[in-house]
A = this chain, B = another copy of it.
Amino acid sequence: MAEELEETEDSLFEAPVMAEQERMVEAILFASAEPVSVAELNARMPHGADAAEALQLLRKRYEGRGVRLVKVGDAWALRTAPDLGFLMQREVVETRKLSRAAIETLAIIAYHQPVTRAEIEEIRGVSVSRGTVDQLLEMDWIRFGRRKMSPGRPVTFVVTEEFLDHFGLESARDLPGLKELRAAGLLENRPPPGNLPDGVGVPDEDDGPEDQSEMFEE
């Protein structure tokens, strides 16, 4: 600010005029739908005005602000500062239910951790898609555990703190056991009446096309 004052004093009698010219350039650039050249600015401003000088003052004024004066070809324009580009977006968050494949994979990891991918596939009876595991990793509900001391030293998966937090569990051991699940009717020995164990034992293909559609089921 002080620096600017000095500068204005330097320009002697024209000082107030130049400040006014700066206002004019500012207003024209703000309202114009396109960048404006110096010639055009001079043509629009009162006779004798020096748009080039006013532009320099304006450029300095906007230094470090949320908006900056930029040169576009031969013309000038006011643009929002590049580092604030993220403000020009608005994020809409949408919550969707996890797919059945992901839930089952997650359940197996929770009940059997640390568990390898091969073990998950064995339990589920179908292969586990990369996408499902990635999704759970990304959600921070599972993470890599220690490698198994078995041939190939496969990686294992375990559930995370975030997982426990989301499901309101103190530890994975708090998950209801098989006995409780059975008592709760979630583990039935008998097939549901009416139809055959469809829907209970359907081996769902992780990568199959129907699985994709399941991804977004409610």
Q: Which of A7-15, A80-88, A176-184 contacts B (4 or more CB under 8 A)?
A: A80-88
When distances are taken between beta carbons in the complex, the residues of chain B under 8 Å from A88 are 27-28, 31
Most buried by B among A43, A45, A81, A84: A84
Contact B80–A45 (Cβ < 8 Å) = no
Contact for A43 among B33, B44, B78, B90, CB less than 8 A: B90
Contact B84–A24 (Cβ < 8 Å) = yes
Contact A67–B32 (Cβ < 8 Å) = no
* A25 lies within 8 A of chain B by Cβ: yes
* A23 lies within 8 A of chain B by Cβ: yes
Q: How far is it, in angstroms, between the C-alpha of A155 and the C-alpha of B67 when the chains are bound?
A: 44
Contact A66–B26 (Cβ < 8 Å) = yes
Contact A27–B90 (Cβ < 8 Å) = no
Contact A87–B43 (Cβ < 8 Å) = no
**For chain A residues 23-60, which have a beta carbon within 8 Å of chain B?**
23-28, 30-33, 43-45
**For chain A residues 54-76, which have a beta carbon within 8 Å of chain B?**
64-67
* A218 lies within 8 A of chain B by Cβ: no
Q: How far is it, in angstroms, between the C-alpha of A32 and the C-alpha of B91 when the chains are bound?
A: 7
Given A30-B66, A66-B30, A67-B30, A23 contacting B81 (CB threshold 8 A): yes
Closest approach, in angstroms, between the C-beta of A60 and any C-beta of chain B? 13
Contact A81–B27 (Cβ < 8 Å) = yes
When distances are taken between beta carbons in the complex, the residues of chain B under 8 Å from A81 are 23, 27
Q: How far is it, in angstroms, between the C-alpha of A65 and the C-alpha of B27 when the chains are bound?
A: 8
Contact A23–B90 (Cβ < 8 Å) = no
27 contacts between A and B (CB under 8 A): A22-B66, A23-B66, A23-B81, A23-B84, A24-B66, A24-B84, A26-B65, A26-B66, A27-B67, A27-B80, A27-B84, A27-B87, A28-B66, A28-B87, A28-B88, A30-B30, A30-B66, A30-B67, A30-B78, A31-B80, A31-B87, A31-B88, A31-B91, A32-B90, A33-B91, A43-B90, A44-B87
